[in-house]
Structures are given as C-alpha cells and as structure tokens.
Structure 1
Amino acid sequence: MTFRSSLADTPLLKVSRPVSACSRCRSAKVKCDNKLPACTACEKAGREKECTAANDQFARGKERSYVAALELRIEKLERRLSYACSTNASIALHGPDEPPAADPNRKDSLAFIRAAIHRKAARTQENADINALVSDFGYLAVNTTTRDFEPSESNMTFARLVLAAATNEPVPEPKSTSLPAESTARALVQFYETSILPLYPAFPATMLHALVSDLYQEHPRQIRSSEYWLFWMVLAISSAAQSRSREDEHYLNGVEFVGRALPHADRALRPGYGTQVQSLLLLTQYSMLDPAHFDSWHPIGFTCRAVVDQGLHQDPPHTQQISPAALDERRRIFYCVYALDRAISMVHARGFSFYDDAVSVALPSSTLASGTLSGLSMSKPPADPSIPLFKLRQLQSAWYQTLYQGNPTESLPDATSFIWQKCFEMWEWSERLPVDMSAPIREMLDLELRYSYVYCIASTARGAQVSAYGKLLIFDHVIAYVDKMYDIANLADKAAFYTYHDALRVFFMGSQFVAVLREIGDLLLSGSSIPVPPPAPGKVSPPLRPVRLDRGTGDTLDRSLRCLERIKLTLRLFGNRWEQALSLMDSFEIISGEVWKDFTTRRAVRDATTTGQWQQMPHA
C-alpha cells in the first residue's frame, strides 16, 4: 500500500513548533507569559538566567525547525554533563580517563564512589556524543522524502535519528525472535481493530489480517521490514493498551514486541516511501502508552514532518489522476496524523507542527463505508467515529491557535464572545454525533468535549479574565469529567483508547478546579446565584450549565471535596500503569493542599454545627 504524490519533492510548508512556555514553566505545569528577557514566573523564583525565554532562539515570531526541541534537550544534557564532570573532578583522585586504582568491591570506600562516578560520566559522554550527532544533523536541509539515508552499519539513518530523539529509556533486548502463538496474535489484532483502528484508520484492517495469515503459513512469502514493523507494533500497542500495571503481563509483552520491531526500524521508517508515515504513526501511538521508554512529542513531530514533505497536507491538484480509493486513503492518513498532533500538542501545552492555514485536505469518507474495518458481522455496524474525532480536532485547533499560539502581547478583541462562540460550535458538534455510535467511544468523545470546554474557557493568554460564570462552568465540567474518568480508571477492561495523556488531562482539569475553588470558593459555598452574563449584541449567549450527573450526592462542599479526592485517586490508579502519573499526583497534592485543608475544616465545622442543632431539638 504505497502511494506517491507529485507534491512530494516540493513541500509547501516548513514545519515549525513554536514553544509556548519556557522549560521551567512547562515542567511545573504552570502558565508562562513568555515575557522577555525572562518570564514572570522565573523572575519571581530568582531563576532569570535559567529561563529559556531569555535565549533569543525562543523569541516569539522566529520560526524554529522541528529539531529545535532536540537542541534544547542537548543544552540541558550538556549542563548536566558539565556538572557531573565538575563533581567528578572534586572527588576523584585520578584523571577522568584513568580507572580507579583501589578495590571497587568495598561499597563504603571512596574508590567505589569514584568508580560509580566514572561509569556514569562515561555513559553521559556517550549520550552527549549521540545528541551532538543529532544536533549536527539538524543543521542539514533534511527532506523526509529523500532516500540518501539508506541503512548501513556506519551511518546515521532517519530511523536512528527518530529513535535517538524519542527514546527516554532503552528498550530491553527481546527474549525471543519467534512469532507468538497465532491465537495470541489474532486476539491482539482484533483488539486493535475494534478499539484503536476505528479512531485512527491509517491502514485497512483487511491488510493487517492478510499479513497475519501470510506470517503463519507453513511457507510464508517474503515479508518486508515495513510489514514486520506493522505486525509487531500493532501487537505492542494492543498489549500496552490492555495493561493495568507496569509489571503485568500485558505491559511486559508490549515491551517485548517493541523490541522485536526495532530491528526493522531502518527500513520501515526510511524516507520516501508511503509506509513511512504509517510506521511513524504506530511509534507515536505506542509512545503514548509507554512514556517510560518513549516521549510522544518527538515521534509526532517527525511524523508531521514526513506528512508535509510528502505533500499530504494538501489534496492533489485536479489535474493529477488518482483513484477515489487512493485519495480517501491519503486523506485518512493525513487526518490521523493531524488528530494526534493536535491532541499531543494541547496536552503538553505546546505549539502545533503546522497551522491550519497551510492545510487543504477534505475529510475522508466513512471508514466503514470504504471497507477499512473488517469482521463486522452485525446487520448494522456502529457509526464511524473517526470523522467526528477529526471534526473535533479541527474545532479545538481553531481556538487553540487563536488563544494560545497568537501573540500574547496583543489582546484579542472581545475575547469573551470568541470563547462563547467556540463553545457553541463544540456543543453543535456534540449534538450531531451519530446516535448509533458505540457507547465506549461516545463516552470518550464526551470526555474530550468537557476537557475542551474547560481548556477554552480557562484561557487568559489573549483575553479578559474568566468571569465568575465561566468559573462556574469550569467547576461543573471538571466534576463531571473527574467522576467519569475515575470510573474508567477503575474498570478492568476498556473498549476505547486511553493513554498516559489522560493522566495529564486529569492533572490539568484538577489544576483548573483548584484555581476555581481558590478564586470563587466562598461564592460557591454561599449558595449565591451566579447569573448568566448577557451576550454582546449580535453574539451567541454563554452556554448553559451542564446537567448534574451526581444529583443527590451532597452539596457544593461535599462535591468539591469528593472531586479533589477522586483526582488524587485517579492519578494513583494511573500510577499503577505509568510511574510518571505518581509524580502528577504528588504535584496535585501540593497545589491543592491549602484548598483541601480549608474545605475539610469547613466541613468539620458544618457537621459539628448540624449535630449540635440536632441534639438541641426536642425529641418525642
């Protein structure tokens, strides 16, 4: 399944990924105002010199290539290496290249400490050499359609560049190279087909099933590296998606399958072939499920670069002869990448890989109508969920670019009306969802909608401060979101595609919830009515409050405390799968500690008062 475009050698766009926050604010998950020479948060903390905004390469308005994120990472590694070398020099009695003379078996000896530092410095130097090579590569004019980077033992291939940038921890060597039992492989393929492929139909399920059949024949045909990559990565994604603990069999199998796929990376990811984008897309999907080994930010950046360099961000001209099926496949591949790029960029609060103004691709037809999915034996299959997902990503992209990627020094005229308009458009989208959509995927899209409402309303980058009514909407949507996500985190089986990014979303929603309680907590607890603000002339009205899904489960005080508790519990449950989620939980406990203490004290006083009043009442 390869396809070529006449635009492949003349890309219409250079990819840029503008950084919207300095590294310190991004690590702390706080808003960065991008002020130069240092942002306000870094100034208050006395870290002006460490603020990346002080570096001219981050000045707003300057385009950055897709390797700029790699350069920043290299700078950090160089600083850490410099610190390690200085530490080594102050402790070691030998030069950096000399082995320790004393017996390193004594764990309490200074020689043991020197030996450990020596080994760590060697590993750091090796990593620095790799990153330096990546940095040098970034100065070249790279076009991902070129075929100059063919695999060999001695050169830097495109796949090795991608993996060097995306890998957090090396994947262990696979324990075996043999195929799993055919029943195991077909069960994992079926899971991918029913839970993930409907949302991201980058290739036909019929092709995947045919590949499995070919692999398990007594005398299989010659299988290409890109096909092996497809097979092993689908198995890895399906296994990791079913994991509930980073120590369970599903997760370990996922890591094992990735290890078996990596030897095929050079051929599967090589530039200039239609399968390159699908292969990069699979790596991105797996990285969202295994942040311990891969960082999803870099794979999606490389995937977008490949999409643009191959011209997939533009429909081919009418003069180019292309079959309707091939055109539809091309569009599906683009929108799968588009949807993941928007989702990953938003969850990390970073810029998109390309702007919507550079995109001219019509939405594809239904995957079910075009036969992308197979094995649907029911008389009326459920509605295709990929098209609604693509449309939601388009709506999110429109307001995110305006509110978060626009110039923060320029106020957006009538920002409040703009936000209400975007909320109305997303509400209209939700009202048009097919009634026969599968329940798990519809539930996932409903969570995406509430997340989008909060993200859009909470924006203050280019607009007026959030009104009390806007904060009330955030309060309601966060509670509904957290209640549902808490239930999902407790489920043993999930039919939709939930990843580590959902833990990041829970933390974001919790942070917005804490901010609302800090700012209008007294108003909410007082029971005072917060009126709906009147719309500006000719503008849409603010959205109405959502219907409560937790009726009869307590007043505002009880609901607030229960939501705070469930945020922590949800992150703890996610922490069983992703260790990074435990760090999010610890951070949330810190930022919510003051509000939690205040509200628990209020509840204790309320309960004591209620008990005292009951005891004073005359009883028959």
Structure 2
Amino acid sequence: MHRSSLADSPLLKVSRPVSACSRCRSAKVKCDNKLPACTACERAGREKECTAANDQFARGKERSYVAALELRIEKLERRLAYARSTKASVALHGPDEPPAADQSRKDSLAFIRAAIHRKAVRTQEKADINTLVSDFGYLAVNTTTRDFDPSESNMTFARLVLAASTNEPVPEPKTTSLPAEATARALVQYYETSMLPLYPAFPGTSLHALLSDLYQGRPRPIRSSEYWLFWMVLAISSAAQSRSWQDGHYLNAVEFVGRALPHADRALKPGYVTQVQSLLLLTQYSMLDPAHFDSWHPIGFTCRAVVDQGLHQDPPHTQQMDQDALSARRRTFYCVYSLDRAISMVHARAFSFYDDAVSVALPPSGQPGSPLPKAPMARPPPDASVPLFRLRRLQSEWYQTLYQGDPTQAMPDSTSFIWQKCFDMWEWCEKLPADVSPPIREMLDLELRYSYVYCIASSARAAQVSSYGRLLIFEHAISYMDRMHDIAKRTGNAAFYTYHDALRVFFMASQFVAVLRDAGDVLLSGSPIPMPPSIPGKPSPPPPPVRHDRGTGDNLDRSLRCVERVKNTLRLFGDRWEDAFSLLKGFENLSADMWESLAVKRDMRNVAAAGQWQQQMPVA
C-alpha cells in the first residue's frame, strides 16, 4: 500500500541547484556560475571578489556539509526524545499498549488522550521531516565530496538520497546467491534492447564484461558500483516486464533492489561519474516502482551531482580530451537532462536547471559500445538516444516559456510561438532515423502527440486556445488513447513504459474532456474547422493528424470509445501501479457529467435514426 508521504507534496527545493554569486545576487542580475569567476564579475574586473552563496561549503570545507546534516539530525532526535518523555503525562497509557479500562468504552478519557497523543506525534513528525527536507534546498549539497566513508553513525550522501526518495521500505532480500546465469543474461539483454538505446549512460560492453566476471569466476575484485549496476539493471528489466504488483517479475524486481541497497554508500559516493550513473539507475527504477520510491527526488539529486561535477558544461577547448571519453560524458549528461525534463513535465514542476546554464553539444549517434563476441546479441540495437535528446530540448524550450515564464508578462504573439514549436517537433519527427526499432518509434510517436497537446493546451502565458487548436487536441488525444490502450493490454512491451505513462494518460484525458466542454457541439457535429490562413513571415499551424480509425463511427462514437479506453487503460495500469487507481477515480469524477451528456446525445441520435429507418420502410 502506498503510504502518504512527502512524494505527494515534496518540499525538496532542487529547481535551481546553482546559486548566484553574492555580487550578482545583490545586484539582482543573472549569474551563469562560471568558474573560477562568473561572466558578470569578469566584465566588471571583480574576478577575485566572485564568491558563491554556498562558498561556506567550497573546496576544502566539504566536511561542514556533513556537520550541518548531523547537527540537524541531532536537533530532530532531541525533539523526538522530548516527545517520548512527555508521553506519560499526556496519556494514561502508551498509544500502543492495551488500555487499562474496559475496551468497550471507546469514548473513555484514556482513548481520547491516546488518540490526541498519536495525532500530535504524527503532526510533529511530519513537521520535522518537512523542515529537514526543506533545509536540503538551502544547504549547499556538495556532491563532489570524497572525504568521508560510510559508517553506522554518520550521514552519507547515499543515505540522504534514499531517505528523501523512499516511500515504503524495501523488504530484506530472501537470498544471498546470484540468480541463474541464463536469467541474468536475459534480463540484461532486455535492458539492452528497451532502455539502453534511449538512455546510454554506460556502454553495453561493461554489462557483458561484468556478467562474465560474476559467473565465470574471474579473479578480480568487484566494486560496489558494479554490484549496484548489476542488481539495478536486473531490477529495472524485471519491473518493466511486470504486469501486476503481485506477479513474479515485480517480486523479483523488489528482491534485486534489496540486493543492490547494501552497495548504495559506495555506488553513490560523491565525486565520480559512477555516482551519476548509479543515480540514473535509481531514477529509472523509481519510475517503475512508485510504491517504494518517488522519482522526483532521485532525479533532483542526479541533476545536483551533474552540476557539481561540471557535466552541464563541455570542457574548454584548451583542455585536450579523448573523443570517446567526451562522447561518453555528453551521453551521461543528456541522459540526466532527458529524464529531468520528462519527470518535471509529467509532474508540472520546474526543471532542475535551466537551458541557459547548459552548454553541451549533442553526442554522435551510435551506441557507445557493442556487446562482446560471446554475448547473446550479435550487434547493438539501433541508437535512439540522440533523437530523444533533440525532442527533449524542443520540449524544454516551449515548456520553460509557456509554463515556467512569468505569468504576469503576456506573450506578444503566443499563437505564432506555439505553431512554430509544433512545426519544429513535426520536423523532428520527419527526420527520425529509419533504423529505429518499431517499438521505440511507436513510443516516440506517442511522446510527440503528448507534446503537441501539452504545447497547444491552455498555459500560464497562453490561456486562450483557438478552435483549430481544440481540434488538434481532440484528434491527437483520441489517437494517443487508441495506441496507449493497445500497449496497456500487451503482455510484453519492447520499449520503456513506466508509471509516468499513467500520468500522461490522465493528462491527455483531462485535456480531451476540457476541449469537449469548451467546444463539444462543434467537435461532435463533425463540421470542418478550417486551418487558420498562413500569414507571411509567421509560422503556419500544423495539419490535422491522419485518422487511423476511419469507419468506426462519427465523432460522438469516437469520444465515447475514447473515454472508455481511458478508464480501461488506467484500470490496467492500476494492476501494476496502485496509484493509477487514484487517477482512474479522479478521471471518473472529472468526466462524469460529460459522459452522461454524451450518452444522452447517443440515445437521441439512435432514436432519430430508428425513426427515419421506419419511415423509409415500404408499406406492406
């Protein structure tokens, strides 16, 4: 059961992980955080005076970050000790002990006091956690610190990440042995086919080499980061193939995560690229198992690690770097960038860093490595990561402008801006490589339709949606739901679908209901809505999508079928992720009036059609 936690209303402030220097902050100007001095200070000749807001945790002072966390923990422990010491004076007995009075008297003073005490403890505990997690946003969480080792008493970066990200504790693993080699290789191959083409944060060769070392007994020590990689890849592949939170795939995934967690302190040790890769794996698993982890916090910490290690900037030209190493560095960054944009958009939250702070060229197409000759796959799957990275950059541009810009500043021509972004995304689709596998191409097409609707929908800076825009939302939403309904029914998917797709289904369904409420009569009548005329010097709107459901009824039938498929899809997703049932209930409440209206119109149409048919029948 998914417990109520900070995942529902997280307070971790990671949206702007790079703080402005003191001079730019006092002058209220934008700071690019360039090292050793920002551009504004360089232009003013104040390079030596450029000090960041988190300078108290600068190089050489990393221990103060740990001390700040330990001090905070001691403060919380004192509060909890005080709460326990006052328990006896609040209630006649402990809340977990049996009452001394008759248990049938539910309104006794003891029960009332015990209930008040439990509520007070829960309230205080929640307030303490909220305060602690809020403070993380103001602490300079330096993820490049390498000078502390894990122990039973101190706070490590890994424990901080897991404490903020965990919804429900992961059960202790039941075994200590490795899974069968055939099982491990099958799961690695699934990850290589479904996830690695989209997020190549590490080469596939490293996975196969690690498998050989683990199962062939090669005499070399295995590092904690390698164990973390092995177990998390198995967990992600198992969870991705699960269709119910009670099936064997999901239970195996939880078991594999339990085997990985003991290696977290070393795998997530700050200051290394392996830390970013390990955090990425935790983020991917969190997207598949929202019952145990909240994906919002892992991706925030991952972005913090990327910024602190400088991966959001290409090395200067004066620094000679091997091209393969540079390409691997860029792939790692864009994997983080892509997941951060996807997770932030699906939760309607701010990005962890803005595009203005990024200066990284796209990596070249192609997998970073091919499997070893003895691997089960003869060649790596086609690389789809660079097309996905390009789409994320397009999404990031219009999302920041429409949803993260100042809502008090109206856009001079929001319609032209939206049409231009839709055209850019259409152009991106036309340039997709021909060798992209059909399952991943289908996933990218769904992502494109989701992006169209998101971009055209009413936003903070473009509240008005034109009639033609509503038509595009109507058509793309129906097409999206038809495809997603089929995907939800499949026993196996060869692409990376997560709980976030359930959130996308709810978003698309909500926009579908919104346009039917605003312009239902026009859309349901099937009357043509002309495309706005082209204006010289301004972008043209995109054409309506090609219908793939012709012959299946008019727009009224299509709308009713779309609502039914939304419910069925969320119900199927609910078997995998219990939170999807809450989305289903929310959509049923949202669409109840509209569904009733559509059903009445269908009955009236059928009655009218039956009357016309009787009139046309010849008299005997």
Same fold (TM over 0.5): yes
Q: How does 1:248-397 map to 2 (within 5 A)?
A: 248-368=247-367, 370-372=368-370, 383-397=382-396
142-151 or 308-317, which moves further after superposition?
142-151
Q: CA deviation at 1:136?
A: 5.2
Contact 1:315 1:360 in 2 (8 A): yes
The alpha carbon displacement at 1:322 in A equals: 1.3
Q: Is the 8 A contact 1:414 1:463 kept in 2?
A: no
**Does 2:99 match 1:102?**
yes
Cα distance change on mapping 1:524 and 1:252 into 2, 3 Å:
same
**Change beyond 3 A, Cα 1:229–1:609:** same
In structure 1, what is the equivalent of residue 225 of structure 2? Answer: 226
Measured against aligned partners, the alpha-carbon deviations of 1:231-288 in whole angstroms (never above 9, x if no partner) come to 1111110100000001101011111111111111111111112200000000000000
CA offset digits 1:45-83 (Å, max 9, x no partner): xxxxxxxxxxxxxxxxxx99xx9xxx9xx9xxx9xx99x
- The aligned amino acid for 2:369 is G
Superposition pairs for residues 587-606 of structure 1, below 5 Å? 587-606=586-605
In structure 1, C-alpha distance between the alignment counterparts of 2:138 and 2:463, rounded to whole Å: 41
Note the alpha carbon deviations across 1:511-562, whole angstroms, 9 max, x for none.
Answer: 0000000010011223322111123431111111111010100001000110
SS at 1:322's partner residue? coil
Give the distance between the partners of 2:277 and 2:263, measured in 1 at CA: 14
Counterpart of 1:549 in structure 2 is 548
Question: Judging changes above 3 Å, is the alpha-carbon distance between structure 1 residues 568 and 95 closer, same or farther for their aligned structure 2 residues?
Answer: same
Give the match for residue 446 of structure 2: 447
- Match of residue 48 from structure 1: none
2: distance between equivalents of 1:226 and 1:377?
Answer: 24
Q: Distance in 2 between matches of 1:257 and 1:463?
A: 46
Unaligned runs of 5+ in 1: 1-14, 20-62
**Contact persistence 1:103–1:112 (CA under 8 A):** no
Q: Which amino acid aligns with 1:403?
A: L
Q: Give the Cα–Cα distance (whole angstroms) in 2 for the partners of residues 535 and 373 of structure 1.
A: 51
The aligned residue for residue 17 of structure 1 is 15
2:167 maps to what in 1?
168
Query: Which has more radius of gyration?
Result: 2
C-alpha distance in structure 2 between counterparts of 1:284 and 1:252, whole Å: 19
Letter in 1 for 2:15: R
Q: Summarize the Cα distance change of 1:263–1:448 in structure 2 as closer, same or farther, 3 Å threshold.
A: same
One-letter code of the match for 1:586?
A: K
In the TM superposition, residue 147 of structure 1 has moved relative to its aligned partner by 1.7
* Whole-angstrom distance in 2 between the partners of 1:611 and 1:527: 21
Once the two structures are aligned, what percentage of the paired residues are identical?
A: 72
CA contact (8 A) 1:94 1:100 kept: no
Which amino acid is 1:313 matched to? H
**Given residue 553 of structure 1, which amino acid in structure 2 is its aligned partner?**
T
Q: In structure 1, how many angstroms separate the alpha carbons of the residues matched to 2:238 and 2:608? A: 53
Amino acid at match of 2:266: R
Q: TM-score, normalised by structure 2?
A: 0.82
**For residues 267 and 113 of structure 1, what CA distance do their matches in structure 2 show?**
48
Which structure 2 residues correspond to residues 448-467 of structure 1 after superposition, within 5 A? 448-463=447-462, 465-467=464-466
CA distance in 1, matches of 2:376, 2:535: 52
Gaps of 5+ in 2: 1-12, 18-52, 55-64
Q: Which letter does structure 1 place at the counterpart of 2:514?
A: A
**Alignment CA distance shift 1:101-1:589 (3 Å):** closer
Deviates more, 1:137-146 or 1:236-245: 137-146
Kindly indicate whether the alpha-carbon contact (under 8 Å) linking 2:188 and 2:234 is maintained by their aligned counterparts in 1.
yes
Report the Cα distance in structure 2 between the residues aligned to 1:279 and 1:104, rounded to whole angstroms. Answer: 54
What amino acid does structure 2 have at the position aligned with 1:499?
T
C-alpha deviation, 1:117, in angstroms: 7.8
Amino acid at match of 2:186: A
Give a deviation string over 1:189-215, Cα, whole Å, max 9, x none.
111111111100000111111111111
Count residues with an aligned counterpart.
545
CA contact (8 A) 1:269 1:276 kept: yes
CA distance in 1, matches of 2:120, 2:215: 47
Question: Match of 1:17, as an amino acid?
Answer: S
Q: Deviations over 1:380-410 (max 9, x none)?
A: 8764211100100011011111111110100
Deviates more, 1:400-409 or 1:128-137: 128-137
Change in CA separation of 1:398 and 1:245 when aligned onto 2, cut-off 3 Å:
same
On the 8 A contact 1:347/1:501 being kept in 2, the answer is: yes
| Match in the other structure for 2:216 | 217
Cα gap change, 1:147 to 1:181, in 2 (>3 Å): same
**Post-superposition shift, 1:118?**
6.5
Partner of 1:200: 199
User: Which residue of 2 is the match for residue 42 of structure 1?
Assistant: none
Runs of 4+ that moved beyond 4 A: 95-101, 103-139, 372-382
Q: CA RMSD in A?
A: 3.1
